[in-house]
Amino acid sequence: MPQASATRQAIPLAEAGIATAKAPPPPPSEDRPVDSRRVAPYLEALEPSGDAAPVTAPVIARFSQPMLRDTVEKSFVITPHVYGDLAWLDDFTLRFQPTRYAHGQVYEVRMRGQSDRGVPLARQGPWHFTTVPSPPLVLAPGPSAIRVPVLMYHYIRVNPVPSDRLGYNLSVTPADFAAQMDWLARNGYHPITFTELHGYLNGQHGLPSRPVILSFDDGYADFYTTALPVLRAHDFSAVAYIVSGFVGRPGYMNAAQVLEADRSGIEIGAHTVDHADLSRQSADGLRYQLTASKTSLEQLLGHPVLSLCYPSGRFNSTVAAAAENAGYRDATTTRWGSMRTLASRYIWDRLRISGGERLDQFVKDLTSQS
């Protein structure tokens, strides 16, 4: 069951997107006065409804009377299970914000509870809605090679130190990042994950038109605070490479944020324990950097971590072989290119997106490799 979060400031009903009452209980048929303290509360509206709900749409329930909050929260169930947070907009209105629904999935919502006078909620529901389908798979599997650009980002921020040229080059401003994501959406690009790319190359399923992978190195905090909301608004997936030893440090995502990103549809990859130059490690040091980071992230997420990014793009044939032996499925470099084959999966190249890059240059680089 989702965990309840702290009560938030009341939001006007119109701003919360609540539909009008659907089917309130009929009035009493008897002519004698009704004791309002004994009238059962009912659910005036519940959104979303229908068959085209966005995958991040909140469930908003509006009750006819003020409710005992804990009685509703304890009974709230959404099936299939979805991670998310419960919060009250006011005494009448409950909001469940999911991390992310699945595409094309029918969801069922059930809840009970009591009014603040202790009267049980009138029997209603369950309620159902269906999320929007995934983009159609128009690229049939079969070819052994395909061009899929992997865009390489670091910070999504305004560089705080103007004289820091390296920081500037690694920092795409939030405005530029949003413009780039808008352009991808307008022009029919569909972000995928490395898992989906492997499924295509292995002949298991197709891909949507104009596939692209959005990758983010190092696990900076601004991925969670700035990039992730933009990605979710566009219904975009991405890959976040996490330096396991930096999780929870100032300026980096903490464990809860990495876990929420994973549950939001972001593929989590490893980026070593402490951003070490793998090409300069001893055999034991190389094994440690690859296996300890993988194990740490897998323990946090509860599932395998199969993608690796070589810090600063530094690798050699020994490093690539060690990545395969450590159980990774693929690894990326900082070299320029976009051709994907299974044979080259431990030296896949990427397209660096630099700070200050104009949108027309972004478009030129991407289209030249698509």
What CATH number is attached to the domain comprising 105? 2.60.40.3710
Neighbours of 217 (CB within 10 A): 27
Mean of pLDDT values over 320-334: 98
The answer to the question of residue 140 being in a domain is no
The answer to the question of residue 138 being in a domain is no
For the stretch 240-283, pLDDT in tens is 999 999 999 999 999 999 999 999 999 999 999 999 999 999 99
The per-residue pLDDT for 197 is 98
Is residue 95 domain-shared with residue 179, that is, in the same domain?
no
Phi, psi of 228, deg, nearest 5: -60, -45
Is residue 162 domain-shared with residue 240, that is, in the same domain?
yes
Q: Which residue has the tokens 């009685």?
A: 71
The per-residue pLDDT for 8 is 37
For the stretch 277-318, pLDDT in tens is 999 999 999 999 999 999 999 999 999 999 999 999 999 999
Is residue 350 domain-shared with residue 224, that is, in the same domain?
yes
The per-residue pLDDT for 36 is 56
- Maximum CA extent, the chain: 89
Tell me the H-state helices in the chain: 13-16, 69-75, 165-169, 174-186, 194-201, 221-222, 228-233, 255-263, 283-301, 317-325, 359-368
The per-residue pLDDT for 162 is 86
The answer to the question of residue 317 being in a domain is yes
Domain that holds residue 81: 3-130
Cα–Cα distance between 155 and 251 in angstroms, integer? 10
Is residue 102 domain-shared with residue 188, that is, in the same domain?
no
Cα–Cα distance between 366 and 278 in angstroms, integer? 29
DSSP string of 256-284?
A: HHHHHHHHTTEEEEE-TTT---GGG--HH
Q: Which residue has the higher pLDDT, 4 or 174?
A: 174
Is residue 157 domain-shared with residue 116, that is, in the same domain?
no
Neighbours of 254 (CB within 10 A): 14
User: Is-above-0.85 flag for pTM?
Assistant: yes
Q: Which of 292, 323, 322 is nearest to 307 (CA)?
A: 323
| Strand partners of residue 43 | 63
Asked if 148 and 213 touch (Cβ cutoff 8 Å), the reply is yes
Where does a domain end: 130, 162, 180?
130
pLDDT over 60 (residue 15): no
Mean of pLDDT values over 361-367: 97
For the stretch 18-62, pLDDT in tens is 343 344 455 554 454 555 567 999 999 999 999 999 999 999 999
Is residue 206 domain-shared with residue 346, that is, in the same domain?
yes
Is residue 118 domain-shared with residue 202, that is, in the same domain?
no
Is residue 26 domain-shared with residue 84, that is, in the same domain?
yes
Where does a domain end: 96, 130, 164?
130
Cα–Cα distance between 291 and 276 in angstroms, integer? 13
Which is it for the CA torsion 130, 135, 138, 142, positive or negative? negative
Mean of pLDDT values over 183-206: 97
Is residue 117 domain-shared with residue 223, that is, in the same domain?
no
Is residue 105 domain-shared with residue 246, that is, in the same domain?
no
Do you know the residue count of the chain?
370
Q: pLDDT category, 16, cuts 50, 70, 90?
A: very low
Written as one letter, the residue type at 240 is A
Q: Which of 233, 225, 368, 241 is nearest to 307 (CA)?
A: 241
Q: Looking at the 3D structure of the chain, how many domains does it have?
A: 2
Where does a domain end: 104, 130, 156?
130
Spell out a b/e string for 197-213, using b for 16 or more CB atoms within 10 Å of the CB, else e. bbbbbeeeebbbebbbb
For the stretch 75-120, pLDDT in tens is 999 999 999 999 999 999 999 999 999 999 999 999 999 999 999 9
Asked if 176 and 192 touch (Cβ cutoff 8 Å), the reply is no
The answer to the question of residue 37 being in a domain is yes
Phi, psi of 115, deg, nearest 5: -70, 170
* Token pair listed for 228: 């992730």
Residue 311 DSSP code: G
For the stretch 110-122, pLDDT in tens is 999 999 999 999 9
What CATH number is attached to the domain comprising 208? 3.20.20.370
The per-residue pLDDT for 25 is 53
Is residue 237 domain-shared with residue 90, that is, in the same domain?
no
Spell out a b/e string for 6-43, using b for 16 or more CB atoms within 10 Å of the CB, else e. eeeeeeebeebebeeeeeeeeeeeeeeeeeeeebebbb
